[in-house]
Structures are given as structure tokens and as C-alpha cells.
Structure 1
């Protein structure tokens, strides 16, 4: 384990004031050389997407961020491949004088980060994937988003099908499954295929299970830390940790220190009720 503590922070969704409070909380501020992992969805639905990105960017190499579905949506809108929705609140990012540089910084964030037997990802890891496999697949998406055809990639990765992994998938479908699993997945069928309509907490109905409880999961030697699931909320297990505690919904922003699972939470002001949980 590194001598520098690592604090892992759940979904921000443009809530910069709670982030500022969290970073200056005495328990976190005393870790002077702390590093910060952010579980994706840095922007959207909250009031301060631009300032939230500036706060994180100012941390420099101390910050590691993985892409969430809202971050990818911002990239797609910035690329002209998607239109902003009525509930989107990242217009401040698009209107910023340095918007191009910010978007470039965002599209160079990883989809997955792996360190100290922990995997940081926004949503989850499909059951057939080992840590090595998941990391390699994430690199395929990262390479595509960082390349000269990144706008075209964003135009083609949207969609719910296919809903399962296969080595025989063509390039576009392959990237789509990787992105969907790592940024959108919550529930799966018992065969491991993804189901995207269920956004509530697991209830055992319809033959669905959380992705981390799919039978036969290959990944059993790492702890997967994720967000994306505010209706699940705080969950700490040896194999999976959820840190999305509904900051943008007026609940809490949560940070967890990796080596001892020390928790710090700040209460978030209610901004507005997003129209969808995703």
C-alpha cells in the first residue's frame, strides 16, 4: 500500500460546494499528501459543472478520475453528436472561454483505474472479465476517445444492444458493450446480460441481480469501487464498494479512505430533482 493515503469520492454531478467542503474536511485535510479518486459523473444535473471540473483539474496529478455516463454525454454534446437534454446543466462548460481545453482534458480521463488490488470504475465490471481483461478493454475505449476520430466514436457507441459480451463482436458493438458495462450497468440477468431499465435498489424481482452478484464472476481478487447507483447508496463489501450517496439529490457526498475505510460525508443542499436516476 502506498504511503500516501487515497480518498475515493462518489458521484459529484456538478456539486462543487460539497466537494470543496469535503476536500477541506479536517479528517481529509490532515492527509497533506492525499490522492483523490473520483468515481465518475463529475458533471451534470448539479449547479456548478464548470467549477467542479476546475476544482478537480487544479488538483493535478493528485486526482484520478474515471469517466461516467454523464461525462461521456457531455463529450458527445461538445462533439455535436448529441443534443443537450432539458435536464442537462453543463452549459457553463460548453460556454467557457477555455471549453476546448476542458473537453480535451475530460476525454483523456481513463474509463478504469487499477491500483492496490482496487479497481475504480463508474458502474461495474461484467462477470466474464478478469482484472487484466477489464483493464485491457477499458484501454480500447480510452484509445478511441483520445484519437482523431473521437467524435465519430461518440456518435456510434450509444444503444442498449448488444447486452452481453462476446469476443466475436465487431468494433462498434465491442466498444458499446465496454462503455455500457463500465458507465451504465446496474442490474443483470442471471446469464450476465445487462438490463438497463431497472434503476431502483435491488429488489429480487424479474430474475435480476446486481452486476456484482452475477453467478460465476471471474473477478474475485480485486475490490471494485463504483458510483452510478444512488438508489443503492453506500455499500461496503470486500469485493465491491458503492459510493454514490445521492449528492445531487440533496443527500450526501461521500469519501472513503482506501486503506482503513474511514468515511467522511458532507450533507448536500438540494439543487433540483433530476428527471432520471441515470
Structure 2
């Protein structure tokens, strides 16, 4: 029996099947944890989401920014872009069940001491703050006013965390931090323009996991989202988006021994 954590699939279902074959995945005994962005950009978002939903006894996932974007396009006022490739889900006969399943997914998972998010965790957040804020967002995603909530969440502000923020502002910050963050300041101020490697940080910012006084430095954190990360060698930090959709690799890490398995995309 093994737990495997898998980086951004983004609709690359054929790559996922090849990876599961490589790790000899067994639905009878193994567990899969997906680190967000399971849909969009690849050509088989529908098959990918169906696989996760249909095998939910053995699969778990956190929401990524592309998954959230799909929800905002369906239930909110956001229009899909020409690059979006999730129309197969929208037009599927089981679309309502798939989208409800997606909306009910958490923003983070804690499992056997590991923390799993899509993008990262602000350096000034502890586990309790993470739990409270993620559950607050999830309660809105499960509410009867999903459309109204999503329409208020597509915003780069507020960029800095504070307990004095309103509930909706806290949700905006939480979504942007857990689903979109790469670089930030020690106080959690977010920066959205730079997407290169961690050693190319904009002035005044660092990769979220590089801050010296980060509160969760001793916790194993697994995340996706940042496909341009390279040569990260930091204790307890496990970046798992290896750029499958860009011709890189799709990877899984076995939780018990941190061994990484990859297939070329």
C-alpha cells in the first residue's frame, strides 16, 4: 500500500495513464493525491476529471487555479479564453455532477504529516490559519450562491494578509495565495507578474518557501503550479509541477520514501 502525490496533469490523461502504469498503481490498495490543475491546456480534461471522480475512494485532489478558472467560467461571469481546453467537460452529459464534484474539493490536504496545496503557503501562516482560511473558502464554494462568490473572487487584491480584512477579502487573498502564489514578501504580500525560477525573484520578493522566518519550515509541503522551478534543494519542500503540458514530465512522489517517478510528456 502506497500514497502517491502527482503534479499538474492539466488534461494530459494519456500521460497520467502511463505514469500510473509505471508506478504499478493499484486501485485495491494505493492512494493518489493530485496537487491541483487537473484540467485545462491538455486535450483530455474530461477523461482526467472523470477518472478522479469515479475513483474517489482512492483519489483526492486540491483545487488549482485552472480548476478554479473552469468553475468561474461555468458558474461566474468569466469567459473562457482561446487557450482554455475544458469545453469537453462543459458539454459532457455528466457535466453537472463533474462540476459539483470539482466545486466541493478542498484547497489543501493534510495527510500523515504532509501538507498539500497547489501553489504554496504564505510564510506568515501557521497550520491553524491555513485550515481556517481554506475551510472558509470551501464553505462558500459549497454554498447556494456559488455564482455570486466566484464573481467576487477574480481579483489580485488584497495582496497582503491581515486579520482585519473582511471575510470576502480574506477569501480573495486565500485563493490567490494557495492557488497562484510564487513570489511574496515575508508579510505575505503577493506578486503575480514573475514566473521564472526561484533565483530570479523580483526586487524585494522571495520565493514563498525561501523566507527565513517562515512558520512552516519544519513541515513537508508538496505543491504544483510552478513549472519553471529548477534545482530546488530545500528541506521539506517538494515542487511537483514538472511541466508536462509544456513537453516536460509528469511526476509522482511516493510519500513513504519521497522517491519520484516521472514519465516524459
Question: What TM-score do the two structures reach when normalised by structure 2?
Answer: 0.95
State which drifts further: 30-39 or 107-116: 30-39
SS in 1 for 2:24: helix
Q: Which runs of 4+ in 1 moved over 6 A?
A: none
- Tell me by how many angstroms 1:233 deviates: 4.7
Equivalent residues in 2 for 1:54-93, closer than 5 Å: 54-93=50-89
The residue that corresponds to 1:266 in the other structure is: 263
Looking at structure 2, the residues matched to 104 and 234 of structure 1 have their Cα atoms a distance apart, in angstroms, of 38
The residue that corresponds to 2:177 in the other structure is: 181
- Tell me by how many angstroms 1:192 deviates: 3.1
Does residue 206 of structure 2 align to residue 209 of structure 1?
yes
Equivalent residues in 2 for 1:207-246, closer than 5 Å: 207-233=204-230, 235=232, 237-246=234-243
The residue that corresponds to 2:118 in the other structure is: 122
Looking at structure 2, the residues matched to 133 and 97 of structure 1 have their Cα atoms a distance apart, in angstroms, of 39
- Tell me by how many angstroms 1:262 deviates: 1.5
Q: Is the 8 A contact 1:233 1:242 kept in 2?
A: no
What do the CA deviations read for 1:116-170 (whole angstroms, capped 9, x no partner)?
1111000011112111220121000111101111111110011111111100101
Looking at structure 2, the residues matched to 21 and 37 of structure 1 have their Cα atoms a distance apart, in angstroms, of 16
111 and 191 in structure 1: CA distance in 2 versus 1, 3 angstrom threshold: closer
| Unaligned segments of structure 2, at least 5 residues | none
The residue that corresponds to 2:146 in the other structure is: 150
The residue that corresponds to 1:38 in the other structure is: 34
What do the CA deviations read for 1:16-63 (whole angstroms, capped 9, x no partner)?
0000111121x3336951100000001001111101111222222211
| Unaligned segments of structure 1, at least 5 residues | 269-278
Alignment coverage as a number of residue pairs: 264
The residue that corresponds to 2:19 in the other structure is: 22
Q: Is the 8 A contact 1:37 1:65 kept in 2?
A: yes
